[in-house]
Amino acid sequence: MEKSSSRTDLPIDLYYTSIIIPLDSPLGQEIFSESFHSSYDNLHRNFQYQEHLSFCGLACISTVLNTISSNEKSNQQTIYSTIAKDFMFNGITLTNLSNVLKHYGISSQIKYAQEKKIEEEFRRDLNREDIFLIVNYWRQYHMKENNYLHQSGHFCLIGGFNPITDHVLLLDPNNRRFSHHWLSIKHLIQMISTYDQMASMSRGYLIVNRQK
């Protein structure tokens, strides 16, 4: 395995707001019209925004569970109190996110960014229609209201991709900051190729089977 890049390896001008394209913008809609977005079509009806600052991963899980199972509806508080609280401390790691899914009978596979062919594998997984993808990546942006540079790990579901523009659609559970948006695959790979101090290893993404 290759060594993961650290946060300091990212370009200093890689500020999130300057490199994303909102889905609801004219350009975002144009990219969407030419994209593959079966995941979005399946997920958006059940999409949940995170209820707490550290619940971005749980919001992704709850969305997936409600999409896969039409009978039993899940919510973030139930997921947290039932199982996730045992795995969380100011957030959750990819490994523990997978453990929570396992508790609900959903199989998943973790792909870490330190793996040599991570970009090649990610592009291949984008073409699969039997899975959902949850990405764990590092992002930073300036918060104008208090002149603060926010830097943190984050979880998002992948809603689709456009092979022409080479962008992926991120379904962002933190609607207090960003609506759903497009991000270039190049930038996303850089952002998942960062070191997660909580997990003591690189970030990456989770492959979730669409059926139990």
Give 51-69 pLDDT, tens digit per residue.
Answer: 988 899 999 999 999 999 8
Average pLDDT over residues 98-104: 93
| Higher-confidence position of 84 and 157 | 157
Alpha carbon distance 153, 196 (integer Å): 8
CB 55 within 8 A of CB 80: yes
3-state secondary structure 147-195: CEEEEEEEEEEEEEEECCCCEEEEECCCCCCCCCEEEEHHHHHHHHCCE
Q: What is the pLDDT of residue 147?
A: 63
**Per-residue b or e along 182-196, where b marks 16 or more CB atoms closer than 10 Å to that residue's CB:** bbbbebbbbbbbbbb
Domains and CATH numbers, the chain: 7-209 (3.90.70.30)
pLDDT for residue 5 is more than 60: no
**How does residue 4 score in pLDDT terms, banded at 50, 70 and 90?**
very low
Q: What is the pLDDT of residue 20?
A: 93
| Higher-confidence position of 152 and 96 | 96
**How does residue 35 score in pLDDT terms, banded at 50, 70 and 90?**
very high
Average pLDDT over residues 171-178: 89
Window from 13-22, 102-111, 186-195 with minimum mean pLDDT: 13-22
Q: What is the pLDDT of residue 9?
A: 45
Three-state DSSP class for 13? coil
Q: What is the pLDDT of residue 203?
A: 92
Q: What is the pLDDT of residue 3?
A: 32
Q: What is the pLDDT of residue 8?
A: 38
Three-state DSSP class for 82? helix
- The mean of the pLDDT values for the chain is 86
Distance of CA 170 to the CA centre of its chain: 7
Average pLDDT over residues 123-137: 96
pLDDT for residue 101 is more than 90: yes
**How does residue 141 score in pLDDT terms, banded at 50, 70 and 90?**
low
